[in-house]
A and B are shown apart, each in its own frame.
Chain A
Amino acid sequence: MRPSQFYNGNPPEPNPRMTVPQYVTTGAVFDEDIVRKADAIIARYPQSRSALLPMLHLVQSVEGFVSRDGIAFCAERLGLSEAETSAVATFYTMYKRRPCGEHLVSVCTNTLCAALGGDAIYAALSQKLGVGHEQTAGEPGAPGSVTLEHAECLAACDLGPVLQVDYEYYDNQTVDSASEIVDALQRGEVPTPTRGAPPAGFRAAELQLAGFFDEPGQDFAAAVDAPSAAPETLRGAQLAADRGWTAPAMPEQPPAFPALPEKK
């Protein structure tokens, strides 16, 4: 480093705002099953590189985060450089650079949820768990470990304040109800979401995001049938049904299609 008038001979203190978490090397081996899955993802698309985002989800399903080895694995399967691959992985919020807890708790703190209590919920959970954003209470990956994060809008504004556990919705939360959810998770229980299937952990969610729903231990049919319609979702439809309101009736037979304009 070039000495300057500010340099006192000691190594400079890293500026915490400027440091970027480095990728961790775990020595993970991605076994035949994962290789087969990666190749199945690649086969879905007209061009192989489109598989990168689902493959990073797949890597997280194995390790609970994206490690340096995960980057190398994706790069190798897709014929990309590790730099190209990590450039993509660092762009997206859902790819975690540090090992995640058994469960990921995401609290919406965007304006509307925050105004309705989301900020208070996040603050309470943060204090209760003794962790901040993207930090884990407990040994990451161990049963009952919980990673906390504040999330941007989760597209459930009519049900705010909302939080998610492993990307399943818990609607209309309060500080108390959110605390109970986290307590249960730490005890190894799985509280029933308002909408979605009971969360089976961050890694299990990531496997589904990679597009795999029929693996041992998964019951896709039951998960699909898990609840989705909150009273808020159905408010308009229910009100219309109660009052007998409908859209204008369609004609008995679909009308003829327009004639094509004459070619010049």
Chain B
Amino acid sequence: MTGQLDPLTPVLTRSWLSPRSWTLKTYEELGGYTALRTALTAQPEQVVELVKAAGLRGRGGAGFPTGLKWSFLPPLADKPRYLVINGDEGEPGTCKDIPLMMADPHLLIEGCIITSYAIRSKFCAIYIRGEVLHVIRRVQAAVREAYAKGYLGKNILGSGFDLDIVVHAGAGAYICGEETALLDSLEGRRGQPRLKPPFPAVAGLYACPTVVNNIETIASVPSIVSGGVDWYRSIGTDKSPGTKIFSLSGHVTRPGQYEAPMGTTLRQLLELAGGMKDGIPLKFWTPGGSSTPLFGAGDIDVPLSFDDVAAAGSMLGTTALMLFNETVSVPWAVMKWAEFYKHESCGKCTPCREGTFWMTGILRRIVSGQGTMEDIQTLDDAAYNIFGRAFCALGDGAATSVSSALKLFRSEFVDLVTGVTPPVIGRREMAGAH
């Protein structure tokens, strides 16, 4: 299907070039908040059915069908329902939600209102990581404008529907991107994941039925309401419809945000981005952040959709395409990520807390030329023993970067251990070592 489409298909990014794109004035001039008016003419359950039929899948990494998630809420009881938006973007390589919220916060707000209407929620919290002050400012300003214009508050546009939105700043914890950790954090606790089930749909914020969705997911909702199912499904692949913001970073000539149909390949994106920087060939890349298994240079024709990337042995994740050229040592890169996971592990479960600690130590030893062949085996074992045994996906992410690197680039580890290649770092020069 993507063959008939233009290589880039701006939907979420279509207003980014407009002057003062973050203001209500610009947003309305470009047709903003008409999707909300349309949605308010339907029954809330019809909006859920629409998003289900459109096949929208969560953009936060897991790719879970969004409409299905909404439909998991139990029948209305005496408990309130909540919508919580996950803007805790912090997965290494991921940088799509931050520019989206800065450039077009009203698109997010409109998506929040439509979604809240669909799931019959009267309170929505937008949880944004704390380190992005300008984003928080822009979203806060948009919320104020929306209140002033009657898009938020009591009896929205005369529909009888009420909604309040609170913008909530996090405080520096990657784990809060995990939806149940985010809920605990939003409740004023340490951000540690909860045992599932019960899932948030049943017992989420304040133990009430809750939907947690990513920024880009919710920002996709207004266009689905305006364009309809057939329009949305005319973009992307059958099982991964729609557009996606691909974030190209690293050793590429023109890094940046490229919104293209789902199923676009890295080869196509690289052509748009001017190829590898200085012509130095690609060595390895991540399809969706550091938690997704590495791809090598031979994988650049994998269609970047949820199912195609999974079939090729990785995960689409957040479509954070980090490109590393041949000058970068794989064991070093993996060591830096391991340090990150060790720092960000919440400490709740043993495999992740202890495993990330030991993997970091072993990797430092290998990278500084002190490792042994046994270390490589121990590293492999540690990753194997974390994967699937940790409380949440953070442990899996920590394990997959290591195990995929050992699978694809084992010789680099062996060469460091046997002295064929010199140490990448001295024992003392490890900036960022925690």
Contact = CB atoms under 8 A, between A and B. Distances in A.
A157 B169 contact: no
Interface residues of A, number: 90
A152 B226 contact: no
A187 interface: no
A191 interface: no
B190 interface: yes
Contact of A236 (B97, B226, B259): B259
Contacts of B333: 111, 115
Interface stretch (B135-143, B153-161, B388-396): B135-143
Contacts of B230: 255
Helix, strand, loop or mixed for chain B's interface? Answer: mixed
Contacts of A224: 22, 137-138, 141
A247 B11 contact: yes
B256 A53 contact: no
B227 A254 contact: yes
A81 interface: no
B324 interface: yes
B169 A209 contact: yes
A204 to B, nearest CB: 10
Given A157-B250, A236-B260, A241-B17, A247 B344 contact: no
A112 B8 contact: no
Contacts of A114: 336, 431-432
A106 B131 contact: yes
B337 interface: yes
Nearest to B174: A152
A173 to B, nearest CB: 14
Given A50-B186, A112-B93, A211-B140, A169 B322 contact: no
A211 to B, nearest CB: 7
Interface string B122-151: 010000011111101110110000000000
A258 B432 contact: no
A114 B251 CA distance: 12
A156 B432 CA distance: 17
A246 B9 CA distance: 5
Contact of A239 (B8, B99, B243): B8
Contacts of A119: 431-432
Interface string A187-200: 00000000111000
B432 A122 contact: yes
Contact of B344 (A152, A195, A231, A233): A152
B290 interface: yes
A116 B13 contact: no
Contact of B255 (A54, A169, A232, A246): A232
Contacts, number: 300
A259 B49 CA distance: 8
Nearest to B51: A258
Interface residues of B, number: 107
Contacts of A156: 95, 98
B423 interface: no
B247 interface: yes
Interface centre among B20, B90, B170, B172 (most CB of A within 10 A): B172
A231 B255 CA distance: 9
18 contacts: A49-B187, A53-B170, A106-B131, A109-B336, A112-B249, A116-B251, A152-B90, A152-B340, A209-B133, A211-B167, A224-B22, A228-B102, A240-B9, A243-B8, A247-B9, A247-B10, A251-B231, A254-B227
Interface of A: 44-47, 49-54, 56-57, 78, 87-88, 91-95, 106, 109-112, 114-116, 118-119, 122-123, 126, 150-160, 164, 166-169, 195-197, 205, 208-211, 213, 220, 223-226, 228-229, 231-241, 243, 245-248, 250-251, 254-255, 257-261
Interface of B: 5-11, 13-14, 16-17, 20, 22, 35, 38, 42-43, 45-47, 49-50, 53, 80, 89-95, 97-99, 102-103, 123, 129-134, 136-138, 140-141, 166-174, 185-191, 206, 223, 225-231, 234-235, 243, 245-251, 254-260, 272-273, 290, 320, 322, 324, 328, 333, 336-337, 340, 343-344, 346, 429, 431-432
Given A49-B189, A220-B137, 11 more contacts: A110-B336, A155-B94, A157-B250, A211-B167, A232-B255, A232-B257, A236-B258, A240-B8, A245-B9, A254-B38, A260-B46
